């Protein structure tokens, strides 16, 4: 239900929009604080030494 005049309706809509923006910001902040940082890139594992001929 909208308020009786246009000025009140615009004010209410602006408050609603502000509340949505603040809620989105709060969610993003919470996720950023609770998500662990990404792991640093790992070095590739060293290759296994090749067997000498005749040692199979």
Q: CA 11, 13, 14, 15 torsion: positive or negative?
A: positive
- pLDDT tens track, the chain, 56 positions: 656 788 888 999 999 999 999 999 999 999 888 888 778 888 877 776 666 666 55
Give the pLDDT of residue 53. Answer: 67
Give the pLDDT of residue 26. Answer: 94
Give the pLDDT of residue 44. Answer: 76
Closest among 26, 46, 45 to 34, alpha carbons compared: 26
Give the pLDDT of residue 38. Answer: 79
């Amino acid at each position: 239900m909208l308020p009786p005049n246009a000025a009140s309706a615009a004010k209410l809509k602006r408050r609603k929009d502000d509340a949505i923006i603040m809620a989105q910001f709060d969610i993003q902040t919470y996720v950023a604080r609770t998500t662990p940082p990404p792991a640093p890139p790992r070095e590739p594992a060293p290759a296994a030494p090749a067997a000498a001929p005749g040692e199979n």
